[in-house]
Protein backbone atom coordinates (compact mmCIF):
# COMPACT_ATOMS: atom_id res chain seq x y z
CA UNK A 1 0.00 0.00 0.00
CA UNK A 2 1.52 3.36 -1.00
CA UNK A 3 2.34 5.76 1.79
CA UNK A 4 0.63 9.12 2.24
CA UNK A 5 1.46 12.02 -0.06
CA UNK A 6 2.41 15.19 1.83
CA UNK A 7 2.54 18.60 0.20
CA UNK A 8 3.24 22.01 1.71
CA UNK A 9 3.10 24.25 -1.34
CA UNK A 10 1.12 27.08 0.17
CA UNK A 11 1.28 29.36 3.14
CA UNK A 12 -0.79 32.17 4.58
CA UNK A 13 -0.28 34.79 7.23
CA UNK A 14 -2.19 35.80 10.32
CA UNK A 15 -1.91 39.18 12.00
CA UNK A 16 -2.40 38.43 15.69
CA UNK A 17 -0.63 38.87 18.03
CA UNK A 18 1.93 39.90 15.38
CA UNK A 19 2.25 38.86 11.71
CA UNK A 20 3.18 35.18 11.49
CA UNK A 21 3.25 32.39 8.94
CA UNK A 22 0.88 29.43 8.69
CA UNK A 23 2.05 26.56 6.49
CA UNK A 24 -0.76 24.72 4.66
CA UNK A 25 -0.25 20.97 5.12
CA UNK A 26 -2.11 18.70 2.70
CA UNK A 27 -2.04 14.94 3.21
CA UNK A 28 -3.60 12.51 0.72
CA UNK A 29 -3.90 8.78 1.31
CA UNK A 30 -6.33 6.21 -0.08
CA UNK A 31 -8.41 8.95 -1.69
CA UNK A 32 -8.81 10.85 1.58
CA UNK A 33 -7.57 14.41 2.04
CA UNK A 34 -6.79 16.48 5.08
CA UNK A 35 -5.73 20.12 5.09
CA UNK A 36 -4.49 22.03 8.13
CA UNK A 37 -2.60 25.27 8.70
CA UNK A 38 0.26 24.97 11.21
CA UNK A 39 2.96 27.29 12.54
CA UNK A 40 6.63 26.32 12.55
CA UNK A 41 6.58 26.17 16.35
CA UNK A 42 3.78 23.58 16.15
CA UNK A 43 6.08 21.38 14.07
CA UNK A 44 8.72 21.80 16.80
CA UNK A 45 6.17 20.75 19.45
CA UNK A 46 5.22 17.71 17.35
CA UNK A 47 8.88 16.78 16.93
CA UNK A 48 9.36 16.93 20.69
CA UNK A 49 6.18 14.93 21.41
CA UNK A 50 7.20 12.16 18.99
CA UNK A 51 10.77 12.05 20.28
CA UNK A 52 12.06 11.82 16.71
CA UNK A 53 15.77 11.02 16.50
CA UNK A 54 16.27 9.95 12.89
CA UNK A 55 14.87 12.88 10.89
CA UNK A 56 15.33 16.63 11.31
CA UNK A 57 13.28 19.78 11.01
CA UNK A 58 14.55 22.74 8.99
CA UNK A 59 16.67 24.79 11.39
CA UNK A 60 15.61 27.62 13.64
CA UNK A 61 16.80 31.03 12.48
CA UNK A 62 16.27 33.55 15.29
CA UNK A 63 19.84 33.38 16.63
CA UNK A 64 21.31 33.30 13.14
CA UNK A 65 19.65 36.60 12.34
CA UNK A 66 21.55 38.26 15.13
CA UNK A 67 24.63 37.93 12.96
CA UNK A 68 23.37 37.41 9.40
CA UNK A 69 20.50 39.84 8.68
CA UNK A 70 20.12 38.50 5.13
CA UNK A 71 18.71 35.30 6.61
CA UNK A 72 15.53 37.25 7.22
CA UNK A 73 14.62 37.31 3.50
CA UNK A 74 10.98 36.24 3.56
CA UNK A 75 10.80 34.19 0.35
CA UNK A 76 14.07 32.38 1.01
CA UNK A 77 13.20 31.32 4.55
CA UNK A 78 9.59 30.43 3.80
CA UNK A 79 10.52 28.42 0.70
CA UNK A 80 13.23 26.57 2.60
CA UNK A 81 10.84 25.73 5.40
CA UNK A 82 8.10 24.51 3.06
CA UNK A 83 10.53 22.05 1.50
CA UNK A 84 12.07 20.98 4.79
CA UNK A 85 8.74 20.57 6.59
CA UNK A 86 7.38 18.52 3.68
CA UNK A 87 10.35 16.15 3.87
CA UNK A 88 10.05 15.94 7.64
CA UNK A 89 6.35 15.00 7.64
CA UNK A 90 6.79 12.56 4.77
CA UNK A 91 9.52 10.73 6.69
CA UNK A 92 7.52 10.67 9.92
CA UNK A 93 4.40 9.35 8.20
CA UNK A 94 6.38 6.56 6.55
CA UNK A 95 7.90 5.44 9.86
CA UNK A 96 6.02 2.65 11.68
CA UNK A 97 7.11 4.08 15.03
CA UNK A 98 5.45 7.45 14.49
CA UNK A 99 2.70 7.19 11.87
CA UNK A 100 -0.05 6.14 14.32
CA UNK A 101 1.12 8.30 17.22
CA UNK A 102 -1.70 10.34 18.81
CA UNK A 103 0.32 13.55 18.62
CA UNK A 104 0.76 13.14 14.86
CA UNK A 105 -2.90 12.31 14.28
CA UNK A 106 -3.97 15.37 16.30
CA UNK A 107 -1.48 17.54 14.41
CA UNK A 108 -3.03 16.51 11.09
CA UNK A 109 -6.65 16.79 12.21
CA UNK A 110 -8.46 20.06 11.36
CA UNK A 111 -10.86 19.38 14.24
CA UNK A 112 -8.17 19.22 16.93
CA UNK A 113 -7.04 22.62 18.17
CA UNK A 114 -3.36 23.04 18.82
CA UNK A 115 -2.09 25.09 21.80
CA UNK A 116 -2.59 28.73 20.90
CA UNK A 117 0.98 29.93 21.45
CA UNK A 118 3.60 30.83 18.92
CA UNK A 119 7.30 31.48 19.03
CA UNK A 120 9.29 34.27 17.44
CA UNK A 121 10.30 31.64 14.87
CA UNK A 122 6.72 31.85 13.54
CA UNK A 123 6.94 35.53 12.64
CA UNK A 124 6.98 36.89 9.11
CA UNK A 125 10.70 37.67 8.88
CA UNK A 126 10.48 41.17 7.46
CA UNK A 127 8.11 42.28 10.24
CA UNK A 128 10.39 41.31 13.12
CA UNK A 129 13.66 43.11 13.71
CA UNK A 130 16.64 41.34 15.24
CA UNK A 131 16.14 43.32 18.42
CA UNK A 132 12.46 42.38 18.62
CA UNK A 133 13.35 38.74 17.97
CA UNK A 134 15.90 38.73 20.77
CA UNK A 135 13.47 40.50 23.09
CA UNK A 136 10.96 37.73 22.45
CA UNK A 137 13.58 35.10 23.09
CA UNK A 138 14.16 36.67 26.50
CA UNK A 139 10.43 36.82 27.28
CA UNK A 140 8.62 33.59 28.15
CA UNK A 141 11.30 31.65 26.24
CA UNK A 142 10.17 33.34 23.05
CA UNK A 143 6.52 32.31 23.39
CA UNK A 144 3.66 34.80 23.22
CA UNK A 145 -0.05 34.17 23.42
CA UNK A 146 -1.73 33.82 20.03
CA UNK A 147 -5.36 34.40 19.15
CA UNK A 148 -7.51 31.40 18.35
CA UNK A 149 -8.37 30.60 14.76
CA UNK A 150 -12.03 31.50 14.30
CA UNK A 151 -14.44 29.69 12.00
CA UNK A 152 -16.25 31.57 9.22
CA UNK A 153 -18.95 29.17 8.02
CA UNK A 154 -22.16 29.30 5.99
CA UNK A 155 -25.17 27.20 5.11
CA UNK A 156 -25.37 26.27 1.44
CA UNK A 157 -28.97 25.30 0.56
CA UNK A 158 -29.44 22.88 -2.32
CA UNK A 159 -31.63 25.45 -4.10
CA UNK A 160 -28.56 27.71 -4.38
CA UNK A 161 -26.92 25.63 -7.08
CA UNK A 162 -28.34 27.53 -10.06
CA UNK A 163 -27.33 30.99 -8.83
CA UNK A 164 -24.24 29.90 -6.88
CA UNK A 165 -22.84 26.80 -8.61
CA UNK A 166 -20.41 24.84 -6.42
CA UNK A 167 -17.76 25.15 -9.11
CA UNK A 168 -17.85 28.96 -8.91
CA UNK A 169 -17.67 29.45 -5.14
CA UNK A 170 -14.72 31.25 -3.59
CA UNK A 171 -13.83 28.59 -1.03
CA UNK A 172 -11.18 30.80 0.57
CA UNK A 173 -14.07 32.66 2.23
CA UNK A 174 -15.54 29.61 4.00
CA UNK A 175 -13.98 27.28 6.56
CA UNK A 176 -17.11 25.12 6.71
CA UNK A 177 -20.12 24.84 4.40
CA UNK A 178 -23.22 23.19 5.84
CA UNK A 179 -25.12 21.64 2.94
CA UNK A 180 -28.89 21.96 3.48
CA UNK A 181 -30.81 19.69 3.54
CA UNK A 182 -31.45 16.02 3.81
CA UNK A 183 -34.36 15.18 6.13
CA UNK A 184 -35.20 12.23 8.39
CA UNK A 185 -37.59 9.87 6.67
CA UNK A 186 -40.57 8.13 8.27
CA UNK A 187 -38.46 4.94 8.43
CA UNK A 188 -35.52 6.64 10.21
CA UNK A 189 -33.52 6.92 7.01
CA UNK A 190 -32.70 10.00 4.95
CA UNK A 191 -34.87 11.73 2.36
CA UNK A 192 -33.42 14.00 -0.32
CA UNK A 193 -34.82 16.65 -2.64
CA UNK A 194 -34.63 15.80 -6.30
CA UNK A 195 -31.11 16.43 -7.56
CA UNK A 196 -29.71 17.41 -4.16
CA UNK A 197 -27.33 14.45 -3.94
CA UNK A 198 -25.76 15.42 -7.23
CA UNK A 199 -25.35 19.00 -6.00
CA UNK A 200 -23.78 17.76 -2.76
CA UNK A 201 -21.25 15.66 -4.66
CA UNK A 202 -20.38 18.64 -6.85
CA UNK A 203 -19.88 20.75 -3.70
CA UNK A 204 -17.58 18.18 -2.09
CA UNK A 205 -15.55 17.75 -5.28
CA UNK A 206 -15.24 21.48 -5.88
CA UNK A 207 -14.22 22.17 -2.29
CA UNK A 208 -11.48 19.55 -2.43
CA UNK A 209 -10.26 20.74 -5.81
CA UNK A 210 -10.00 24.28 -4.47
CA UNK A 211 -7.21 23.29 -2.09
CA UNK A 212 -8.56 25.72 0.51
CA UNK A 213 -9.39 23.10 3.13
CA UNK A 214 -13.10 24.00 3.23
CA UNK A 215 -15.00 21.29 5.09
CA UNK A 216 -18.39 20.11 3.83
CA UNK A 217 -20.95 19.02 6.42
CA UNK A 218 -24.40 17.61 5.68
CA UNK A 219 -27.19 19.41 7.53
CA UNK A 220 -30.20 17.22 8.29
CA UNK A 221 -33.62 18.67 9.08
CA UNK A 222 -34.50 22.36 8.84
CA UNK A 223 -37.63 24.28 9.79
CA UNK A 224 -39.82 22.39 7.36
CA UNK A 225 -37.87 19.12 7.57
CA UNK A 226 -37.99 18.14 11.24
CA UNK A 227 -41.26 16.16 11.20
CA UNK A 228 -39.67 12.75 11.70
CA UNK A 229 -36.88 13.55 14.16
CA UNK A 230 -38.78 12.53 17.27
CA UNK A 231 -39.62 9.09 15.88
CA UNK A 232 -36.13 8.63 14.38
CA UNK A 233 -34.55 8.85 17.84
CA UNK A 234 -37.39 7.29 19.86
CA UNK A 235 -35.96 3.77 20.18
CA UNK A 236 -32.62 2.01 20.08
CA UNK A 237 -33.57 0.34 16.80
CA UNK A 238 -34.62 3.60 15.16
CA UNK A 239 -31.50 5.41 16.36
CA UNK A 240 -29.31 2.63 15.00
CA UNK A 241 -31.04 2.87 11.61
CA UNK A 242 -30.74 6.64 11.59
CA UNK A 243 -27.06 6.63 12.61
CA UNK A 244 -26.31 4.09 9.87
CA UNK A 245 -28.01 6.39 7.34
CA UNK A 246 -25.99 9.40 8.52
CA UNK A 247 -22.69 7.51 8.51
CA UNK A 248 -23.56 6.09 5.10
CA UNK A 249 -23.99 9.61 3.73
CA UNK A 250 -20.65 10.71 5.21
CA UNK A 251 -18.88 7.76 3.61
CA UNK A 252 -20.70 7.97 0.28
CA UNK A 253 -19.98 11.65 -0.33
CA UNK A 254 -16.68 12.01 1.53
CA UNK A 255 -18.16 14.46 4.01
CA UNK A 256 -16.49 16.09 6.98
CA UNK A 257 -19.43 15.57 9.31
CA UNK A 258 -23.12 15.88 10.16
CA UNK A 259 -25.16 18.86 11.35
CA UNK A 260 -28.43 18.06 13.13
CA UNK A 261 -30.93 20.85 12.47
CA UNK A 262 -33.82 19.61 14.61
CA UNK A 263 -36.31 22.43 15.12
CA UNK A 264 -36.96 21.48 17.91
CA UNK A 265 -36.75 18.64 20.48
CA UNK A 266 -39.88 18.52 22.69
CA UNK A 267 -41.24 21.58 20.92
CA UNK A 268 -43.81 22.02 18.19
CA UNK A 269 -41.62 23.92 15.72
CA UNK A 270 -43.45 23.90 12.39
CA UNK A 271 -46.15 21.63 13.79
CA UNK A 272 -43.96 18.58 14.41
CA UNK A 273 -44.71 15.52 16.55
CA UNK A 274 -42.65 15.74 19.73
CA UNK A 275 -42.14 13.96 23.03
CA UNK A 276 -40.92 14.74 26.57
CA UNK A 277 -38.18 12.15 25.87
CA UNK A 278 -36.81 14.01 22.87
CA UNK A 279 -33.87 15.68 24.60
CA UNK A 280 -32.74 12.48 26.32
CA UNK A 281 -33.05 10.55 23.08
CA UNK A 282 -31.16 13.28 21.24
CA UNK A 283 -28.19 12.78 23.58
CA UNK A 284 -28.29 9.06 22.86
CA UNK A 285 -28.25 9.84 19.14
CA UNK A 286 -25.25 12.16 19.47
CA UNK A 287 -23.37 9.60 21.56
CA UNK A 288 -24.01 6.82 19.03
CA UNK A 289 -23.16 9.08 16.12
CA UNK A 290 -19.86 10.14 17.68
CA UNK A 291 -18.95 6.51 18.31
CA UNK A 292 -19.75 5.62 14.71
CA UNK A 293 -18.02 8.60 13.08
CA UNK A 294 -14.96 8.72 15.31
CA UNK A 295 -13.32 11.74 16.85
CA UNK A 296 -12.18 13.53 13.68
CA UNK A 297 -15.58 14.24 12.07
CA UNK A 298 -17.67 17.31 12.79
CA UNK A 299 -20.91 16.82 14.71
CA UNK A 300 -22.92 20.01 15.13
CA UNK A 301 -26.48 21.08 15.78
CA UNK A 302 -28.44 24.21 14.93
CA UNK A 303 -30.06 25.49 18.11
CA UNK A 304 -32.25 28.35 19.40
CA UNK A 305 -31.22 30.97 21.97
CA UNK A 306 -31.98 28.67 24.91
CA UNK A 307 -30.91 25.03 25.40
CA UNK A 308 -33.15 22.20 24.30
CA UNK A 309 -36.42 21.62 26.16
CA UNK A 310 -36.18 18.81 28.70
CA UNK A 311 -38.85 16.41 29.92
CA UNK A 312 -40.11 18.98 32.43
CA UNK A 313 -40.94 21.46 29.66
CA UNK A 314 -38.10 23.85 30.57
CA UNK A 315 -34.71 24.40 28.94
CA UNK A 316 -32.01 21.97 30.07
CA UNK A 317 -29.73 23.37 32.75
CA UNK A 318 -26.78 21.06 32.02
CA UNK A 319 -25.91 20.19 28.44
CA UNK A 320 -22.26 19.34 29.09
CA UNK A 321 -22.82 15.70 28.11
CA UNK A 322 -24.16 16.87 24.74
CA UNK A 323 -21.28 19.28 24.24
CA UNK A 324 -18.79 16.50 24.93
CA UNK A 325 -20.02 14.67 21.82
CA UNK A 326 -20.25 17.77 19.64
CA UNK A 327 -17.77 19.85 17.69
CA UNK A 328 -19.98 22.94 17.33
CA UNK A 329 -23.28 24.25 18.63
CA UNK A 330 -24.77 26.61 16.02
CA UNK A 331 -26.85 29.33 17.68
CA UNK A 332 -29.54 30.66 15.32
CA UNK A 333 -29.69 34.29 16.43
CA UNK A 334 -32.35 35.39 13.97
CA UNK A 335 -36.13 35.44 13.43
CA UNK A 336 -36.40 37.23 16.77
CA UNK A 337 -38.88 39.64 15.20
CA UNK A 338 -40.67 39.09 11.92
CA UNK A 339 -42.88 41.23 9.71
CA UNK A 340 -45.22 43.43 11.72
CA UNK A 341 -47.05 46.76 11.75
CA UNK A 342 -44.70 47.49 14.67
CA UNK A 343 -41.38 46.20 13.23
CA UNK A 344 -38.52 45.04 15.43
CA UNK A 345 -34.99 43.69 14.90
CA UNK A 346 -34.51 40.35 13.20
CA UNK A 347 -31.20 39.55 14.92
CA UNK A 348 -30.35 41.78 17.92
CA UNK A 349 -26.82 41.85 19.25
CA UNK A 350 -28.17 42.38 22.74
CA UNK A 351 -30.74 44.01 24.98
CA UNK A 352 -28.60 47.13 24.82
CA UNK A 353 -31.15 49.55 26.30
CA UNK A 354 -32.35 47.11 28.96
CA UNK A 355 -35.94 47.49 27.80
CA UNK A 356 -36.55 44.44 25.60
CA UNK A 357 -39.54 42.21 26.35
CA UNK A 358 -37.50 39.35 24.81
CA UNK A 359 -34.27 39.66 26.81
CA UNK A 360 -33.41 36.00 26.22
CA UNK A 361 -33.40 36.42 22.43
CA UNK A 362 -30.13 38.06 21.38
CA UNK A 363 -26.55 37.12 20.65
CA UNK A 364 -25.38 38.25 24.08
CA UNK A 365 -28.17 36.41 25.89
CA UNK A 366 -27.71 33.20 23.88
CA UNK A 367 -24.00 33.06 24.65
CA UNK A 368 -24.65 33.55 28.36
CA UNK A 369 -27.49 31.00 28.41
CA UNK A 370 -25.61 28.22 26.65
CA UNK A 371 -22.44 28.82 28.67
CA UNK A 372 -24.44 28.71 31.91
CA UNK A 373 -25.77 25.31 30.83
CA UNK A 374 -22.27 23.93 30.33
CA UNK A 375 -21.43 24.68 26.69
CA UNK A 376 -17.82 25.79 26.20
CA UNK A 377 -17.69 29.13 24.41
CA UNK A 378 -15.16 27.72 21.93
CA UNK A 379 -17.78 25.24 20.68
CA UNK A 380 -20.42 27.92 20.05
CA UNK A 381 -20.89 29.34 16.55
CA UNK A 382 -22.96 32.51 16.32
CA UNK A 383 -25.57 32.47 13.56
CA UNK A 384 -25.95 35.60 11.42
CA UNK A 385 -28.80 36.26 8.96
CA UNK A 386 -28.19 37.47 5.42
CA UNK A 387 -31.87 38.35 5.08
CA UNK A 388 -34.45 40.59 6.68
CA UNK A 389 -38.21 41.14 6.85
CA UNK A 390 -40.48 43.55 4.98
CA UNK A 391 -43.34 45.05 6.98
CA UNK A 392 -46.45 47.01 6.03
CA UNK A 393 -45.86 49.87 8.43
CA UNK A 394 -45.40 53.62 8.63
CA UNK A 395 -43.06 53.39 11.63
CA UNK A 396 -39.77 55.24 11.55
CA UNK A 397 -38.29 53.52 14.60
CA UNK A 398 -38.11 49.88 15.66
CA UNK A 399 -40.39 48.51 18.33
CA UNK A 400 -37.58 46.44 19.91
CA UNK A 401 -38.37 47.48 23.48
CA UNK A 402 -41.96 46.28 23.59
CA UNK A 403 -43.86 43.04 23.32
CA UNK A 404 -44.41 41.62 19.82
CA UNK A 405 -47.72 42.67 18.36
CA UNK A 406 -50.31 40.05 17.50
CA UNK A 407 -49.87 40.68 13.77
CA UNK A 408 -46.18 39.82 13.75
CA UNK A 409 -45.46 37.27 11.02
CA UNK A 410 -42.54 34.86 11.21
CA UNK A 411 -44.08 32.07 9.15
CA UNK A 412 -45.62 32.29 5.72
CA UNK A 413 -47.02 29.64 3.43
CA UNK A 414 -46.11 28.98 -0.20
CA UNK A 415 -43.21 29.98 -2.38
CA UNK A 416 -42.87 30.78 -6.05
CA UNK A 417 -42.58 27.10 -6.98
CA UNK A 418 -46.04 26.43 -5.57
CA UNK A 419 -44.58 24.18 -2.86
CA UNK A 420 -45.57 24.63 0.77
CA UNK A 421 -42.50 25.93 2.54
CA UNK A 422 -42.65 27.28 6.06
CA UNK A 423 -40.37 30.27 6.26
CA UNK A 424 -38.71 30.31 9.64
CA UNK A 425 -35.30 29.47 10.99
CA UNK A 426 -33.38 27.58 8.30
CA UNK A 427 -36.11 27.69 5.71
CA UNK A 428 -36.31 28.85 2.15
CA UNK A 429 -36.75 32.58 1.65
CA UNK A 430 -39.38 33.53 -0.92
CA UNK A 431 -37.82 34.92 -4.06
CA UNK A 432 -39.66 37.51 -6.10
CA UNK A 433 -38.30 39.40 -9.09
CA UNK A 434 -37.49 42.99 -8.17
CA UNK A 435 -37.03 45.53 -10.92
CA UNK A 436 -34.69 48.44 -10.32
CA UNK A 437 -36.39 51.78 -10.69
CA UNK A 438 -34.77 55.05 -11.65
CA UNK A 439 -35.99 57.00 -8.61
CA UNK A 440 -37.98 54.74 -6.31
CA UNK A 441 -37.56 51.22 -5.03
CA UNK A 442 -40.79 49.35 -4.31
CA UNK A 443 -40.70 46.42 -1.89
CA UNK A 444 -44.42 46.21 -1.16
CA UNK A 445 -44.58 42.90 -3.00
CA UNK A 446 -42.51 41.45 -0.17
CA UNK A 447 -44.93 42.34 2.66
CA UNK A 448 -44.87 39.68 5.37
CA UNK A 449 -41.90 37.89 3.84
CA UNK A 450 -38.22 37.27 4.39
CA UNK A 451 -36.11 39.19 1.89
CA UNK A 452 -32.52 38.30 0.95
CA UNK A 453 -29.99 41.10 1.42
CA UNK A 454 -29.11 40.79 -2.26
CA UNK A 455 -32.73 41.49 -3.20
CA UNK A 456 -32.79 44.66 -1.09
CA UNK A 457 -29.74 45.81 -3.06
CA UNK A 458 -31.25 44.71 -6.38
CA UNK A 459 -34.35 46.79 -5.66
CA UNK A 460 -32.28 49.95 -5.27
CA UNK A 461 -33.36 50.49 -1.64
CA UNK A 462 -29.73 49.91 -0.67
CA UNK A 463 -26.82 51.19 -2.72
CA UNK A 464 -23.30 49.83 -2.44
CA UNK A 465 -20.69 52.51 -1.83
CA UNK A 466 -17.07 52.62 -2.93
CA UNK A 467 -15.85 51.52 0.51
CA UNK A 468 -17.92 48.29 0.36
CA UNK A 469 -20.64 49.46 2.76
CA UNK A 470 -24.24 50.32 1.84
CA UNK A 471 -26.32 53.46 1.97
CA UNK A 472 -29.97 54.30 1.43
CA UNK A 473 -31.46 54.64 -2.02
CA UNK A 474 -34.65 54.47 -4.08
CA UNK A 475 -36.68 56.76 -1.82
CA UNK A 476 -35.89 54.83 1.37
CA UNK A 477 -34.36 56.32 4.51
CA UNK A 478 -31.86 54.34 6.57
CA UNK A 479 -32.25 54.19 10.33
CA UNK A 480 -30.22 52.58 13.10
CA UNK A 481 -31.62 50.92 16.21
CA UNK A 482 -29.15 51.43 19.05
CA UNK A 483 -31.08 49.05 21.32
CA UNK A 484 -30.34 46.05 19.07
CA UNK A 485 -27.36 47.37 17.05
CA UNK A 486 -29.14 46.76 13.74
CA UNK A 487 -30.10 48.88 10.72
CA UNK A 488 -33.48 49.31 9.08
CA UNK A 489 -35.00 51.10 6.09
CA UNK A 490 -38.31 52.93 5.88
CA UNK A 491 -40.43 54.62 3.27
CA UNK A 492 -43.51 56.17 4.87
CA UNK A 493 -45.08 57.06 1.52
CA UNK A 494 -45.13 53.36 0.65
CA UNK A 495 -45.87 52.18 4.22
CA UNK A 496 -42.80 49.96 4.07
CA UNK A 497 -40.19 49.08 6.71
CA UNK A 498 -37.32 46.68 6.06
CA UNK A 499 -35.43 45.18 8.99
CA UNK A 500 -32.15 43.51 8.04
CA UNK A 501 -28.42 43.23 8.79
CA UNK A 502 -25.57 44.91 6.92
CA UNK A 503 -21.78 45.07 6.96
CA UNK A 504 -21.79 47.14 10.15
CA UNK A 505 -24.16 45.04 12.26
CA UNK A 506 -22.75 41.72 11.04
CA UNK A 507 -19.23 42.96 11.68
CA UNK A 508 -20.21 43.97 15.21
CA UNK A 509 -21.67 40.53 15.93
CA UNK A 510 -18.62 38.78 14.51
CA UNK A 511 -16.39 40.98 16.67
CA UNK A 512 -18.56 40.07 19.67
CA UNK A 513 -18.04 36.36 18.90
CA UNK A 514 -14.28 36.84 18.61
CA UNK A 515 -13.94 38.92 21.75
CA UNK A 516 -15.91 36.40 23.78
CA UNK A 517 -13.95 33.35 22.71
CA UNK A 518 -16.69 31.78 20.62
CA UNK A 519 -15.75 29.32 17.87
CA UNK A 520 -16.76 31.81 15.18
CA UNK A 521 -19.81 32.57 13.06
CA UNK A 522 -22.02 31.03 10.41
CA UNK A 523 -24.59 32.55 8.09
CA UNK A 524 -28.02 31.60 6.87
CA UNK A 525 -27.55 31.52 4.01
CA UNK A 526 -24.73 31.90 1.51
CA UNK A 527 -27.04 32.51 -1.46
CA UNK A 528 -28.55 35.67 0.05
CA UNK A 529 -25.28 37.64 0.15
CA UNK A 530 -24.41 40.38 -2.32
CA UNK A 531 -21.55 38.34 -3.76
CA UNK A 532 -19.32 37.85 -0.71
CA UNK A 533 -19.56 41.39 0.67
CA UNK A 534 -21.28 40.41 3.90
CA UNK A 535 -19.07 37.34 4.33
CA UNK A 536 -16.03 39.60 4.01
CA UNK A 537 -17.38 41.87 6.75
CA UNK A 538 -17.91 38.86 9.00
CA UNK A 539 -14.42 37.56 8.33
CA UNK A 540 -12.98 40.99 9.14
CA UNK A 541 -14.90 41.02 12.43
CA UNK A 542 -13.42 37.62 13.25
CA UNK A 543 -9.93 38.94 12.53
CA UNK A 544 -9.47 36.71 9.48
Task: Give yes or no for a cis peptide into 182 (omega within 30° of 0).
Answer: no
Q: Are 141 and 157 found together in one domain?
A: no
Q: What is the DSSP string of 371-387?
A: HHTT--GGGEEEEEESE
Q: Is residue 426 part of a domain?
A: no
Q: Give the DSSP H/E element, type plus range, for residue 367.
A: helix 363-372
C-beta atoms surrounding 536 within 10 Å: 19
Q: Is residue 291 part of a domain?
A: yes
- pTM of the entire structure? 0.73
| Residue 131 main-chain phi, psi, to 5 deg | -65, -45
CATH of the domain at 206: 3.20.20.80
Whether 104 contacts 29, CB under 8 Å: no
Percent of the chain topping pLDDT 90: 62
The tens digit of pLDDT for each residue in 473-524 reads: 999 999 999 889 999 999 999 999 999 999 999 999 999 999 999 999 999 9
Total residues found in the chain within this entry: 544
Q: Are 128 and 186 found together in one domain?
A: no
Last-in-domain residue among 114, 145, 176: 145
Q: Are 271 and 364 found together in one domain?
A: yes
Q: Are 249 and 297 found together in one domain?
A: yes
Strands 298-303 and 215-221: unpaired
Q: Is residue 329 part of a domain?
A: yes
Q: Are 245 and 170 found together in one domain?
A: yes
Q: Are 199 and 334 found together in one domain?
A: yes
The tens digit of pLDDT for each residue in 180-235 reads: 999 999 999 999 999 999 999 999 999 999 988 899 999 999 999 999 999 999 99
Q: What is the DSSP string of 48-88?
A: HHHT--SS-PPPP-TTGGGT-GGGG-HHHHHHHHHHHHHHH
Question: Helix, strand, or coil here: 20?
Answer: strand
Residue 60's pLDDT is what? 73
Strand order in the sheet with 387-392: 450-452, 387-392, 496-499, 486-491, 477-481
Q: 399-419 burial string, b = 16+ CB within 10 Å, else e?
A: bbbeebeeebbbbbeebeeee
CATH of the domain at 67: 3.30.1520.10
Domain that holds residue 35: 5-145
Q: Is residue 418 part of a domain?
A: no
Last-in-domain residue among 145, 161, 185: 145
Last-in-domain residue among 145, 170, 203: 145
Q: Are 286 and 377 found together in one domain?
A: yes
Q: Are 252 and 373 found together in one domain?
A: yes
Residue 373's contacts (CB-CB under 8 Å, 6 or more residues apart) are: 307, 315, 316, 317, 318, 319, 320
Q: Is residue 12 part of a domain?
A: yes
Q: Is residue 295 part of a domain?
A: yes
Number of domains composing the chain:
2
Q: Are 12 and 114 found together in one domain?
A: yes
Is pLDDT above 80 for 359? yes
What is the C-alpha separation between 40 and 543, in angstroms, rounded? 21
Mean pLDDT for the chain?
85
Q: Are 118 and 259 found together in one domain?
A: no
Q: Is residue 257 part of a domain?
A: yes
Amino acid sequence: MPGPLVTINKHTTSSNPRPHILYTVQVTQNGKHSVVDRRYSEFVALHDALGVKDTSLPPKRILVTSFIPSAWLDDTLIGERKSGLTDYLSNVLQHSKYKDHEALQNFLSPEVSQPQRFNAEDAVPSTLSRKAALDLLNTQSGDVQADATFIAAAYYPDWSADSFPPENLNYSKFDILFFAFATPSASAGLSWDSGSRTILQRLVTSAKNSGRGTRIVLSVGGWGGSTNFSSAVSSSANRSTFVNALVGAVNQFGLDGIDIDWEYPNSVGAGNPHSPSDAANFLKLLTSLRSALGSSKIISAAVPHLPWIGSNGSPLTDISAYAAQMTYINIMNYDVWGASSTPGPNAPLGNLCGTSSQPQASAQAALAQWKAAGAPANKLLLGLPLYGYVSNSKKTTLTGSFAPSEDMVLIQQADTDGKNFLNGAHARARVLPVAKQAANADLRGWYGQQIPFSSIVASGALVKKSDGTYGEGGGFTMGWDDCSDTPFLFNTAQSTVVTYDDTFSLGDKATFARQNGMAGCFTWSLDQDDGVTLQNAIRAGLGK
